[in-house]
Amino acid sequence: MGYEEQVNKIENIVNSPIKKFKSDELKAIAERYEKNHPKSKAAFERAKKIIPGGVEHNLAFNWPFPLESKKVWDCYMQTIDDIILTDYLMNGGPIILGHNYKPHTEKVVEVIEKYGSCHGITHEYEYMAAEQLQKHFPSCEKIRWLQSGTEADMLALRIARVYTGKNHIIKFGGHYHGWSDQLVYDLHVPGTMRMESHGIPRNIYKYITSVPPNDIDALRKEFKEKRRVAAVILEPMGGESGAIPVRPGFNKEVEELCRENDALLISDEVVCAFRLDMGGGQAYFGYDPDISVFGKIVGHGYPSAAAIGGRADIIDTVAAGVGGGSKRAYSGGTLAANPLTCAAAYWAIKFVEETNATKIAGKAATRLSNGFNEIFEKYNLPWFSYNYNATVHFHTSCVFGIDITDPTQAPSIKGRKEFMEKMGAALIDQELISVAGSRFYTCIQHTDEIIDETLQKMDIICQKIE
């Protein structure tokens, strides 16, 4: 499906009333949810007493209540009520070999048993993993390990400022780059600006602005107005891992504007690396960033995995704390670059290469996305699906497509979000778990047979819509 068609379909959905589940079907879904997940419900009541909101993951399903997982393997998740769900959440993206992929687990366990998890000084896995990453990201002449995508994005801004001597950063509406003070700005739904920035002083945003996604003229104008721009940061597939799809050629146009204005381009590859292409968004879309940000997927779901890479003269600014250079982009992290995480990264990349995981998971995603579209057409629904390799989006209520400046669209945000929650519950009812009722990540364990079963289940869900 081409970009124009995607945009037209999103517009059609956001300008139409939200589809509804038949009320008796929705009631039955909610009743079965209660009946099938009593232990999850009790666990939620217990967790609420000690954990704010009772749930820590933004991507967890909250309607009617969140589930608790007992065990994950391959492409499955078993809840504490022993319901086995086919898993398309994939921990929010990093799992592409399948959960607990045995050869990978064995290597990580070997590190703990043989070497110990944390040494506090250099271990060989640190540079071995960096070399592996660089093989697929030639733009990364130097790499530094960090502990989360949030942290890596934060450091990318600092490095850009130190290197260019300028302060201003431009991001795009709806693009997500973690939750550091400066980047909790214009997330999720473009145009929301400071709506999520509670507790963050207004002047933090003195040097951050956002322009509408896919709008190169708006970016050009912003460069003119702000003048001293250090960097532009983007999500390669578009906001929310492509839920707001990127216009073909847009990323390259951004790169060209950065060059014209002596600003750096930061490519946030937290989801794209290996999942979209072995060489991430930059290889898939064909542009050259100065700095790349990596997160969860580099460690295939093992904790404390993130990195920043880029041109040597730029990334070397983080070495100043050690080497005493004059341009210092201070960074740290007691647990960063520990052998456990770096071994997880080293072997994850090796196994992704060996199994051709990017391609296989992408094929599964295409089968799923095409199948969804056939079903939506069969039931005459305005919904649609597309995939960026191994990431499938399916748009039903299109909350991210809302134009919040349009008084006819903005008030529907709540209802659109609620519909996605109901869709999440309808998927659980069919023993499927996705990301927020609108995104499916695939892995090499999602066989054609499993995909076809999933499609049959989506067919059943569509029969429940008014």
Ligand X SMILES: Cc1ncc(COP(=O)(O)O)c(C=O)c1O
Q: Which residues of the chain form contacts with ligand X (CB under 6 A)?
A: 92, 148-150, 153, 176-178, 235, 241, 268, 270-271, 295-296
At closest approach, how far in Å is the CB of 189 from ligand X?
A: 16
For the bound state, the minimum distance from the C-beta of residue 462 to ligand X, rounded and expressed in Å, comes to: 29
**Residue type at position 340:** L
Our CB check for ligand X shows the closer of 365 and 465 to be: 365
User: At closest approach, how far in Å is the CB of 435 from ligand X?
Assistant: 10
Query: Least distance to ligand X from the beta carbon of 271, Å?
Result: 5
- Nearer to ligand X among residue 92 and residue 424 (C-beta): 92
Helices (H), 178-272: 216-226, 239-242, 250-260
Residue closer to ligand X, measured from CB, 268 or 429: 268
Q: Give 234 or 465: the residue with its C-beta nearer to ligand X.
A: 234
- Euclidean distance between CA atoms 183 and 169, whole angstroms: 10
Q: Which residue is nearest to ligand X (CB)?
A: 149
β-bridge partners, 384 = 395
Nearer to ligand X, 241 or 341 (CB): 241
Sequence length of the chain is 466
Other Cβ atoms within 10 Å of 199 Cβ, number: 6
Q: Give whichever of 170 and 450 is closer to ligand X, judged by the CB atom.
A: 170
From the CB of 298, what's the least distance to ligand X, in Å?
10
User: Rounded to an integer, what distance in angstroms lies between the CA atom of residue 450 and that of residue 122?
Assistant: 43
- Distances in Å between the Cα of 434 and the Cα atoms of 190, 387, 463 are 23, 14, 19
Q: How far is the CB of 184 from ligand X (least distance, A)?
A: 11
Residue (296 or 367) nearer to ligand X, CB? 296
User: What's the rounded Cα separation, in Å, for the pair 200 and 98?
Assistant: 38
Which residues on adjacent β-strands are paired with residue 275?
A: none
Beginning with the edge strand found earlier in the chain, give each strand of the sheet holding 142-146 in spatial order. Answer: 142-146, 306-310, 291-294, 264-268, 229-234, 168-172, 208-211
Tell the smallest beta-carbon distance from residue 378 to ligand X (Å).
Answer: 33
CA distances from 194 to 152, 185, 205, 268, 356 (A): 22, 5, 9, 21, 41
Give CA 84 to chain center in angstroms: 24
